[in-house]
Structure 1
Amino acid sequence: MEGNADLGAAPSDLATSKHTAKRDAFSELLSPKPRQPKHARQSLAKDIQKKTHGPRDALGAYIAKPEAYPPNVVVYHNDDFVVIHDLFPKSTLHLLLLPRDATKTLVHPVEAFDDLEFLAKVKEEAKKVCALAAGELRRKYGKYSLHDREREEALDADPPPETLPAGRDWGKDIMCGIHAHPSMTHLHVHIISVDRCSDRLKHRKHYNSFSTPFFIDIDDFPLATDDPRRDPDRQGYLRRNFICWRCGRDFGNQFTHLKKHLEEEFNEWKRL
């Protein structure tokens, strides 16, 4: 296994260093790293584009040489997959799982996932990344969560209990899937928190691509031959009204009002 940590490390907990509970190298892959300033992220994006044929091909650079990027960009990589932080995240947590199979990486995901053996392999890796993402949500927001309060108190105990309370199921707050019409050339799977709270979420396409059937859950594959999501343009998913992902409120075409509402929903969501 290549990358930033041994994913087969002994089981443990995602608590911060002040806690004496056991820790897990897999969970710590997403622990805080020195954050790149905005100008550095912009420079990275331009550098990737120079090495490829254009912005749509930018993911190819990570697939070809993941070891060239710092741990706050590439989370981990192995012979079959690369996991990166999305350079333009549309939620507070947004990862991309990039298969490295040369026979599939330039194939549309709907077609690629008709190969059941390949699909099973992607689902297995995606499950690992989703667990990693859920652990990161707990690290970031567990201290605010009512359902995690007992667990947080147990972590602060001295000594901590042998068995921690289960706490909130953060895995339910992770979406995993693909876009019916991907914006990038190389096959990629989104692992993204449900909140859609990000300064990078700037217009209708950004929101509706994650909030309508345009986003296809990985567990829905393989798609039936008559599944309407195979023809997203005809369905007009991206042209639909803005519907809040959490409360279902219809904002019509009022994106500015939606954005303000999403911040309010985010603050409520993390306190559940």
Structure 2
Amino acid sequence: MSRPQKAEKRDACTNFTELLSPKNKQQKHKDPHTWYDYLQSEKRAPGGPRDALGAYIENPESFSSNVIVYQNQNFVAIRDRYPKSTLHLLLLPRDLSKTRLHPFDAFDDPEFLENVRVEVKKIRALAAAELRRMYGKESAQEKRRYDALDVKFPPDELPSGRDWEKEVMCGIHSGPSMNHLHIHVMSVDRYSERMKSKKHYNSFSTPFFVDVDDFPLPQDDPRKYFKRQGYLQWDYICWRCERNFGNKFAEFKGHLEEEFNEWKRQ
């Protein structure tokens, strides 16, 4: 390769023009590779749809009971507007010093993280009870329990039945799509009309989704470099049987329905 010829002296007008060129604009904003870069990107600017969760935190009383699951001084629990499983809730902390932090930063506070864990335990139990209501009568593991309830004089202590809490996943996205801190609490089935893309599925089925119990994360945890890891571009891999569907979305969606029906009946 030949060496470039010595550049001629450029005047101030030329320098100014080059600074405004599309090439330089592209260089100015690098792809976010860490959670810090992600928060600093223009897409994370306050206002607009990405701030929509703020209204639930500030004034949950203005929303119907179909949306608000419960509220207390420190948290609001809501139904996700665009659920990616048959049961999908969001837990929203109300601590103003934490609500606009990335979870990687917010959960560095041990006291706050413990408060979140206590609340997650509470909402996980509520979600499990709802799953039992939704699918208990279809589940083979619940048969003895429902048979005991059907007799004239039910026993004082019912068979334990299916452990529905194990069917609930609770965690955050390493690259959240909304500005306010939120924890996803959802059934493991990933079966929903709102599941429409690889990004949707992989955001809940790869290390992009970080379980609350995994915190605090080590400083060098690869999930902090989610963009570099390319989690959202991974193949469609079934959460239940681990079959790889590559990029065949339509086929994969049909498979998810089959797995959902088998899952709820197990």
TM-score interval, normalised by the smaller of the two chains: 0.7 to 0.9
- Other-structure match for 1:78: 72
- The 2-side partners of 1:224 and 1:131 are apart by 28
1:151 to 145, 149, 152: 145
Deviations 1:4-38 (A, max 9, x none): xxxxxxxxxxxxxxxxxxxxxxxxxxxxxxxxxxx
- Which secondary structure state, in structure 2, belongs to the residue aligned with residue 160 of structure 1? coil
The answer for the alignment partner of 1:259 in structure 2 is: 253
Q: Which moved more, 1:154-163 or 1:181-190?
A: 154-163
Residue matched to 2:8: none
User: Comparing both chains, which one has the higher relative contact order based on Cα–Cα distances under 8 Å and sequence gaps of 6 or more?
Assistant: 2
Aligned-pair distance for 1:159? 2.4
Q: TM-score of the superposition, structure 1-length normalised?
A: 0.80
* 2:18 aligned partner: none
Q: Which residue of 2 aligns with 1:206?
A: 200
Match of 2:240 among 238, 246, 256: 246
Tell me the alpha carbon deviations over residues 57-116 of structure 1, each in whole angstroms, 9 at most, x when there is no partner: 000000000011111100000110000000000000000000000000000001100111
Structure-2 residue corresponding to 1:160: 154
Matched position secondary structure for 1:257: helix
User: Any stretches of 5+ residues in structure 1 without a counterpart?
Assistant: 1-51
Q: Size of the alignment, in residue pairs?
A: 221
Partner of 2:47: 53
> What's the counterpart of residue 103 of structure 2?
109
SS of the counterpart of 2:213? helix
Report the 3-state secondary structure (helix = DSSP H, G, I; strand = E; otherwise coil) of the residue aligned with 1:210.
coil
Letter in 2 for 1:208: N
Please give the secondary structure, in 2, of the residue aligned with 1:98: strand
Match of 2:215 in 1: 221
Equivalents in 2 of 1:126, 1:53: separation in Å? 28
Separation in 1, partners of 2:75, 2:66:
17
Identity score, percent: 64
Question: What letter matches 1:239 in structure 2?
Answer: Q
* Residue of structure 2 in register with 1:176 after alignment: 170
Q: Normalised by the size of structure 2, how large is the TM-score?
A: 0.82
Q: Distance in 2 between matches of 1:86 and 1:93?
A: 9
1:231 match: secondary structure: helix
- CA displacement at 1:234 relative to structure 2: 0.5
CA–CA separation in structure 1 for the residues paired with 2:184 and 2:158: 30
Structure 2: unaligned runs, 5 residues or longer: 1-45
Deviation at 1:161, TM superposition (A): 1.5
**Does 2:218 match 1:195?**
no
Match of 1:126 in 2: 120
Q: Which amino acid aligns with 2:172?
A: I
User: In structure 2, what residue type is equivalent to 1:189?
Assistant: I
Q: Distance in 1 between matches of 2:214 and 2:196?
A: 28
Is the aligned partner of 1:94 residue 2:88?
Answer: yes
Cα offset, 1:158, TM superposition: 1.8
Selected match of 1:233 from 227, 236, 240: 227
Shift of the alpha carbon at 1:154?
A: 1.3
Structure with larger Rg? 2
Moved over 2 A (4+): none
